[in-house]
Amino acid sequence: MLGVLRQKVRSEALILSRLFLTRGYRHAQSFSNHILPGGPVVPRPMREGVQFLQKDSPYRVWSRSFASDNGELFDAVVPFMGESITDGTLATFLKKPGDRVEVDETIAQVETDKVTIDVASPEAGIIEKFVAKEGDTVTPGTKVAVISKSDASTTLAPSEEKPKDVPKSSPPTEKEVAEKKAPKAEAPIKEKPKAPSPAPPKSQVTEPQLPPKDRERRVPMTRLRKRVATRLKDSQNTYAMLTTFNEVDMTNLMKLRSDYKDAFLEKHGVKLGLMSGFVKGVVSALQDLPVVNAVIDGEDIIYREYIDISIAVGTPKGLVVPVIRNANNMNFADIEKQIHTLAKKANDGTLSIDEMAGGSFTISNGGVYGSLLSTPIINPPQSAILGMHSIVSRPMVVGGNIVARPMMYLSVTYDHRLIDGREAVLFLRRIKDVVEDPRRLLLDI
């Protein structure tokens, strides 16, 4: 009797254990709907619910692979580009999707008619994606990229599927082997009758052979280059341009720089160049002949009571013309400091719109590139432009003797509708006198 009772207890315990295992499997199966492929991806807190599983359990592997953090997303947009600029061209991306960026780090650059604008990251994080493409026309506020503050990346579990069995090809039969080894009978070749040789063709006029297209490279114009091309062509179509020339002896100005360059650098922190001497000469000439500083507006003439000198600077991206404001109130040191600051910004591409707006007269120094002589084009809406050229040692007659002198050709292109030849010649002559003898500026003669 006791043995029968023990056997019944063991049977009931076995049934209960099987029932528990079955329910545990169904619970795991229900749980897999949330974490196995095909189910929705859940946030990290779900990982805590699978801690009871073994480390090598496939459920833990899928849960870890599909968990992700939905970090905050921020938009990098095109900033305000200036009062007179409404749009620009997205020139280049400096980063790639997946790169990490810091706050205010430049992501892309936008080219406008005048300057290059940087698009900065609003927050530190990872670049999720680019919304715009290079070459797109963008306006202030246009979304360019999406930045995520989350550093976590969602990874997928490797596929565990085994490659399907590829059916093996059966070995060739003896008949097929014999057919491959047997030589194929060649069809007899019939000799074709020889055709009579054609008569030599008559000489014909052919079109010239052009270079193949693969030896050419087509590149779209930048916004800055388009703007420069349009303004210069408009200037040529509007103004009655005429150029007059003169030459200047650079001996005294070069000696002045040589004698005081060290003391000038020590006191003012910038080098004494030749450009400041020409700026002072232009200011003096504009004060003597104010019509050169004027401009035609419809049927009126506008006489400017200020002197803002534009300096043409060639950069890798194109020609820019920053402005020295109120040059008539500056001395040599002030002019050199301003030229140094503007030239550095021009080469770095950091000039602002305000630093290039306006200007009543332009100086273009082609001599730094070796130009001997040129006829520069007027920079609208101005009425004249001075061209400086290279310094060349030439034989000159001084006091009845032939001596070598450092000489430079000067040119001034002017709007003949407003400025007569007399004013243009006297203007250039005044610059020559001041550069050849800077002491005139001290004596105001």
92-103: per-residue pLDDT in tens? Answer: 888 889 899 998
Q: Give the lowest-confidence range in 158-162, 222-226, 364-368.
A: 158-162
Gap between the Cα atoms of 343 and 416, Å rounded: 31
The Cα-based distances of 301 to 206, 243, 379 in angstroms read: 59, 21, 17
What is the model's pLDDT at position 433? 96
What is the model's pLDDT at position 240? 95
What is the model's pLDDT at position 29? 42
Gap between the Cα atoms of 351 and 337, Å rounded: 16
What is the model's pLDDT at position 376? 94
pLDDT cut 70: percent of the chain above it: 70
More confident residue, 276 or 179: 276
- State which H helix or E strand residue 353 sits in: none
- Residues 23-66: tens digit of each pLDDT: 444 444 444 444 444 444 444 444 444 444 444 444 333 333 33
What is the model's pLDDT at position 152? 41
The neighbour count for residue 245, using CB atoms within 10 Å, is 15
The neighbour count for residue 276, using CB atoms within 10 Å, is 23
Pull the structure tokens for residue 96. Answer: 């790639």
The catalytic site residues sit at 416, 420
What is the model's pLDDT at position 184? 53
Closest CA to 311 of 297, 322, 299: 322
Gap between the Cα atoms of 356 and 321, Å rounded: 6
Q: Label the pairing between strands 143-148 and 73-77.
A: antiparallel
Count of all residues that appear for the chain in the document: 445
- pLDDT at residue 231 above 50? yes
Q: Are 311 and 324 in contact (CB under 8 A)?
A: yes
What is the model's pLDDT at position 291? 96
What is the model's pLDDT at position 43? 41
What is the model's pLDDT at position 242? 96
- Average pLDDT on 340-352 reads 89
What is the model's pLDDT at position 118? 87
What is the model's pLDDT at position 4? 52
Q: Are 322 and 363 in contact (CB under 8 A)?
A: no
* Confidence band of 151 (pLDDT split at 50, 70, 90): low
According to DSSP, the residues that pair with 399 across neighbouring strands are: none
* Confidence band of 358 (pLDDT split at 50, 70, 90): confident
What is the model's pLDDT at position 9? 52
What is the model's pLDDT at position 268? 94
Angle between helix axes 275-288 and 421-436 (nearest 10 degrees) is 140
More confident residue, 8 or 188: 8
What is the model's pLDDT at position 249? 97
- State which H helix or E strand residue 338 sits in: helix 332-348
What is the model's pLDDT at position 203? 54
Q: Are 409 and 432 in contact (CB under 8 A)?
A: no
Mean pLDDT of the chain: 79
What is the model's pLDDT at position 73? 87
- Average pLDDT on 54-79 reads 55
What is the model's pLDDT at position 82? 74
What is the model's pLDDT at position 405? 96
- pLDDT at residue 138 above 60? yes
- Please, which residues have CB within 8 angstroms of residue 132's CB and are 6 or more apart in sequence? 90, 138, 142, 143, 144, 145
Closest CA to 338 of 353, 355, 350, 352: 355
* Confidence band of 3 (pLDDT split at 50, 70, 90): low
- Average pLDDT on 197-206 reads 58
What is the model's pLDDT at position 281? 96
- The radius of gyration of the chain's CA atoms, rounded to the nearest angstrom, is 41
Alpha helices in 165-316 (DSSP H): 174-181, 223-238, 251-268, 275-288
In order of their start, the domains of the chain are 21-68 (no CATH), 73-148 (2.40.50.100), 223-443 (3.30.559.10)
pLDDT cut 90: percent of the chain above it: 42
What is the model's pLDDT at position 222? 83
More confident residue, 51 or 337: 337
Gap between the Cα atoms of 360 and 383, Å rounded: 8
- Residues 376-416: tens digit of each pLDDT: 999 999 999 999 999 999 999 998 999 999 999 999 999 99
- pLDDT at residue 170 above 70? no
Q: Are 319 and 225 in contact (CB under 8 A)?
A: no
